[in-house]
Amino acid sequence: MLRRLGPVALVAVLALAPAASAAKKKTMKLAPKGATTLVLDEGAGAALQSLGIAVAPLKPARAGEAGIAFPITAGKLNAKTYAGQIKHSGGLSLTRGSTRVDLRNFTINVDKAPDLTARVGNARVSILDLDLSDAKISAKGQMLTIAEVKATLTDDAAGALNAAFGTDAFKEGLELGTATVSGRAAKRH
């Protein structure tokens, strides 16, 4: 089953999520298998490089030909609308000289304003807005894939990165890349 959600359809699905969950309360739990892979936008990569900022995965995340993969540790989604949360381990390190910003343990929140949060120091911060308007969802057996999710920088994250690296180059809405979630539903007991 492969579907493409348009912006109107996505809003309708998310608006109906509470009613659907109240009626059936059917959830899909994701097993600690699979990963969310981020393909860095070429423009964002060039901008980081021009600023002298190196990006590296924090273990157990890993970089490969397909992008940077962040292992899924758990997830709980509405089985019909896919609204919910997906948690990850690992993260990203942004470094320039002696300045290092670590973004760890990402959580994807699929709700009326989808975003990705990260642990930064002792705080959890929304760092990316997620655009699901062109997302392609494929569910086959226990496998779930949500592809072509656009990831853009939030205003708070842009401000924090500008302050940390002494620049004004980071702006809200800066497209960082495209994400694909590939997970497996946990077996029910």
pLDDT in tens, 23-37: 445 888 998 889 999
**pLDDT computed for residue 139 by the predictor:** 87
- Give yes or no for residue 112 having a pLDDT over 70: yes
**pLDDT computed for residue 6 by the predictor:** 41
CA distance 49 to 75: 33
**pLDDT computed for residue 92 by the predictor:** 97
**pLDDT computed for residue 171 by the predictor:** 95
Q: Please name the residue ranges forming H helices in the chain.
A: 7-24, 42-50, 155-165
CA distance 92 to 170: 17
90: left (phi over 0), alpha (psi -120 to 50) or beta: left
Q: Which two tokens stand for residue 4?
A: 């493409």
Answer with the residue of higher pLDDT: 21 or 110: 110
Please count the other Cβ atoms lying within 10 Å of the Cβ belonging to residue 139.
Answer: 16
**pLDDT computed for residue 2 by the predictor:** 39
Share of the chain above pLDDT 90, in %: 74
Q: pLDDT band for position 58 (50/70/90)?
A: very high
**pLDDT computed for residue 138 by the predictor:** 93
Where do the structural domains in the chain lie, given as residue ranges? 2-18+29-184
Q: For residue 100, what are the β-bridge partners?
A: 95
The chain-wide mean pLDDT, for the chain, equals: 87
**pLDDT computed for residue 25 by the predictor:** 54
Share of the chain above pLDDT 70, in %: 86
- Give yes or no for residue 111 having a pLDDT over 70: yes
Answer with the residue of higher pLDDT: 146 or 4: 146
Mean pLDDT value across residues 162-178: 95
Least confident residue range of 1-5, 49-53, 69-73, 181-185: 1-5
Cβ proximity of 153 and 135 under 8 Å: no
